[in-house]
Amino acid sequence: MLMHVFSNLCDNALRHTPPGGSVMVDARQQGNVLEIAVTDTGKGIPAEALSRVFDRFYRADASRQVNTGGSGLGLAIVQAIVEAHGGAIRAENAPQGGARILFTLPAAEQAPIWSYSTIPVR
């Protein structure tokens, strides 16, 4: 199920990143919590949509359905999966521009502390 989370978040980020932009996946462990962020360099999420992006059938850009299809269920499903694993998820706009979706998952106490960031693709 977590593969579905990564697939959906990365697919959304790639879809909203213009040519020449980048998508980054960052992960870090803080105590017993893993925090994973998927950040793109697209135009970001409108401020009025940030609180609703995880609502079922909600689309920040309703006109996009004509071009790309989809039902507006992807992020609602992602939220349900993350919460079923004991985590939490939120959306924000990155300071340098673009959208960032962050989610947390509980980590085993004996897991080593680590931090990893991907190299931008594109």
Q: Is the pLDDT of residue 14 over 60?
A: yes
Q: What mean pLDDT do residues 8-14 have?
A: 94
Quote the pLDDT of residue 65.
46
> Is residue 89 one of the residues assigned to a domain?
yes
> Is residue 120 one of the residues assigned to a domain?
no
> Is residue 121 one of the residues assigned to a domain?
no
Residue linked to tokens 């609502």: 55
> Is residue 115 one of the residues assigned to a domain?
no
Domain residues for the domain of 74 are: 2-109
Quick check: helix, strand or coil at residue 122? coil
Residues 6 or more apart in contact with residue 51 via CB below 8 angstroms? none
Our count of domains for the chain comes to 1
Give the dihedral sign, CA 53/59/64/70: positive
Write the CATH number for 31: 3.30.565.10
> Is residue 42 one of the residues assigned to a domain?
yes
Q: What mean pLDDT do residues 5-11 have?
A: 95
Instruction: Give per-residue pLDDT as tens, 46-104.
Output: 999 898 888 886 666 554 444 555 557 889 999 999 999 999 999 999 998 899 999 99
Q: Using a cut of 0.85, tell me whether the model's pTM lies above it.
A: no
> Is residue 122 one of the residues assigned to a domain?
no
